[in-house]
Structure 1
């Protein structure tokens, strides 16, 4: 079997106030790429147009965490981000990495999943050689079929403009996005697990109260909403199903924890590391573990 998905491409935290989210992630010890405005198209074959969103990213060389905000309410919204934040802000986006968006789209469509088709994305980025245009392709699953969040497949066409070496060193020692935890309503749980297994072409395995889907690079953890208090005690519950947390690997857990706490954010101890509440991280719980 040919696996066109190898791991995470990026996760996304979506808000209206990008300035505040940037300050939060800088205080947590992440180096952020410069702010970049999006050029997007709504349908395959249409030319990308300047959208209402911009981003900054915490980059790890493989996957990245995107901080996405509304920066111009008067601009077009081809990817319907305003409707997303109107529902609720926070951890909303999950994209898997592919080297061939067309092949991934054909496979997903053949498996009975409704998709957007292959869409184009561009944004200008600052490089050490001047401004260059980052280009990517994306396939979105129909959000009506993914109540837990906005799920897609993305392909870098100019990876070198995104994962620039100067942005890969983080004061907190972050090195990789290791896992994403999704909370799923009990009634939808089996169907959601089966869908993700089909999307990434991997068999789910039970690990305690988690169901885990392992990829070559990273793992997806899925938990029933009735069990969520065991994994995320006291955490916000923004919807019946939702992406809840990420696991970030760092060089030195103790040093990362000291930095985060010295910058004014509370932490709690978890197996292998420490945890920052979604209340203090833009709507995404963050677990820091040693690499």
Structure 2
């Protein structure tokens, strides 16, 4: 069956200090370009200053990990020296709307940071974002409609402009609101442009090639309700996997785990809040390479019961980072009747 939500698009790690986050992720073996900061002159004739929200990505061919932070007024020391400062440009009629959106994003980031530093964003990838919007509305899931933005993208072939079409799901419980569920920002984004995404910086020293799982920890008593909510979001049922509920996506998964069993899946991990995205997993070519790299960097490393490696949340700015060996592609048959 073809679904209008196919796989994971990206997960967002909201951090208090971008320089610290860049240092961490590079130690973890990810290629992370300098972050982009919108700038605007605070007064006529003044020099433009960073404001709002800043971000960067660790990119894969069909997904990415986002690092995001909010710019605190007067906090020039928190901005990396090689950051891309992007002057805010828009027609006069559109400028108020753009400023409002930037302000809303920055306020959300600040609110999430007050809750805890860690994962607060999960976006799914849609081959037909308009169909996704229609299905969600028909299922009684509130959202703000399909939005479109254009953003500057630096690739190994130069600077490009990327069109991003997305929707954000509205929450319907305590701690939720417009464009934000109780656990954070959840929504869908039109599939990445393969020509643009394929030209980004994808050769990570740790051998990471894809985002393959996100783990959402919930109060045990709330598991059925959260499961039902995500069944509406994703348009498919979850399967039972021991204490967890798993939504199988294209080569990836969203796993719901009760707080009482989190430590059984990720030894010694505890959620900073409930509900919360507590971990994500990336597929890597060789776990031995990951182990050698992280041990050489002095990064704390644990092992899951299933044999994955992970960096505890306490050592990774509030988000456990799991490394999983990528499946070996099946060998193509040879002999009579094949095209080999």
Q: Normalising to structure 1: TM-score of the pair? A: 0.88
Distance 1:126 1:233 in 2: 38
CA contact (8 A) 1:105 1:117 kept: yes
Task: Give the superposition deviation at 1:156.
Answer: 4.5
Where structure 1 has 5 or more consecutive residues not aligned to the other structure, the ranges are 40-49
CA contact (8 A) 2:239 2:245 kept: yes
In the TM superposition, 1:129-208 aligns within 5 A as 129-143=157-171, 144=176, 146-156=181-191, 158-161=193-196, 163-208=197-242
In the TM superposition, 1:236-275 aligns within 5 A as 236-270=270-304, 271-275=306-310
In the TM superposition, 1:1-291 aligns within 5 A as 2-37=2-37, 52-71=52-71, 73=73, 76-79=102-105, 80-143=108-171, 144=176, 146-156=181-191, 158-161=193-196, 163-270=197-304, 271-291=306-326
Task: Give the superposition deviation at 1:166.
Answer: 4.9
Task: Give the superposition deviation at 1:216.
Answer: 1.9
Task: Give the superposition deviation at 1:73.
Answer: 4.1
CA contact (8 A) 1:135 1:156 kept: no
Q: Please identify the structure whose Cα radius of gyration is greater.
A: 2
Task: Give the superposition deviation at 1:129.
Answer: 4.5
Distance 2:266 2:157 in 1: 44
Task: Give the superposition deviation at 1:128.
Answer: 4.0
CA contact (8 A) 1:272 1:290 kept: no
Distance 1:274 1:225 in 2: 21
Aligned residue for 2:145, secondary structure, equals strand
The verdict on how the C-alpha distance between 1:232 and 1:191 changes in structure 2, with shifts beyond 3 A counting, is same
CA offset digits 1:2-35 (Å, max 9, x no partner): 5111100100001231111111000000011342
CA contact (8 A) 1:212 1:220 kept: yes
Where structure 2 has 5 or more consecutive residues not aligned to the other structure, the ranges are 40-49, 75-98, 327-340
> Which structure's residues are more often strand, by fraction?
1
Aligned residue for 1:202, secondary structure, equals coil
The verdict on how the C-alpha distance between 1:37 and 1:137 changes in structure 2, with shifts beyond 3 A counting, is farther
State the number of aligned residues. 280
